[in-house]
Amino acid sequence: MTPRRSAARPVGRARDAGGDRAGQGGQRQHVFSDEPTSPDEHRTSRRGPAHVRDRRRRRLAVAAGVSLLALAATGCSGLGRTAVGPVTYTTEREAVIQVNSPSVRGCHRIAPAGAHEVENGTLVDVILYRTRDCTGRGTTYVPTRFSDVTAPGSGPWRSYSFVH
């Protein structure tokens, strides 16, 4: 940010009311000057070009950090979260179906014929249902990295949901 200059004040080094340089007595009149007071002033001045570049870098770094934080926060929210890994099931007709990284939300229907074998390869536990809408009794809990097979004479699983 560049300093503002007042039109009523002379531009130059700060001088007191008696014309002497500021700091040698008298009252000071604060005026910003473009003239260096020492040979090293431009290198150490907070108004120099290096300071402007540093400030821009800092602002860019803060903006990048805030955007990464926002992305991380949305990634951890429940919106669009998936169960990392496959859910594999074998239907009554012996077809093997694999669903990769399904959403952890909602009810997932299994093929119309149902499944008699389910392998949970995800990082989230699964509940298997004998109904198409993830309701009713006779549920089966399948932990992460486990599988389950229906008992002879029992009906097939027709849907599943995740424990989250």
At 53 the pLDDT is: 73
Q: How many domains does the chain have?
A: 3
Tell me the pLDDT tens digit for each residue of 112-135.
889 999 999 999 999 999 999 999
Quote the domain boundaries for residue 39.
13-45
* Cα–chain center distance at 148: 36
Tell me the pLDDT tens digit for each residue of 96-105.
999 999 999 9
Residues 69 and 136 in one domain: no
At 122 the pLDDT is: 93
Rounded to the nearest 10°, the torsion over CA 49, 55, 61, 67 is: -120
At 58 the pLDDT is: 84
Residues 92 and 155 in one domain: yes
Residue 6 CA to residue 148 CA, distance in Å, equals 82
The answer to the question of residue 2 being in a domain is no
Residues 118 and 150 in one domain: yes
Residues 124 and 101 in one domain: yes
| Token pair recorded at residue 105 | 């939300």
Cβ-in-10-Å burial (0-12, 13-18, 19+) of 116 comes to buried
Nearest C-alpha neighbor of 122 from the set 98, 149, 106: 98
Domain end (from 76, 95, 127)? 76
The answer to the question of residue 1 being in a domain is no
Torsion sign over Cα 131, 133, 135, 136: negative
Residue 94 CA to residue 139 CA, distance in Å, equals 22
| Token pair recorded at residue 124 | 């989230």
At 16 the pLDDT is: 47
Residues 125 and 157 in one domain: yes
Residues 99 and 145 in one domain: yes
The answer to the question of residue 3 being in a domain is no
Residues 150 and 102 in one domain: yes
Whole-number Cα distances in Å, 59 to 69, 70, 72, 114, 146:
15, 16, 20, 57, 49
Residues 131 and 69 in one domain: no
Query: pLDDT tens string for the chain (164 positions)?
Result: 555 555 555 555 544 445 555 445 555 555 555 555 555 555 555 555 777 778 888 888 888 877 777 666 655 555 578 889 999 999 988 999 999 999 999 999 999 889 999 999 999 999 999 999 999 988 999 999 999 998 888 889 999 999 97
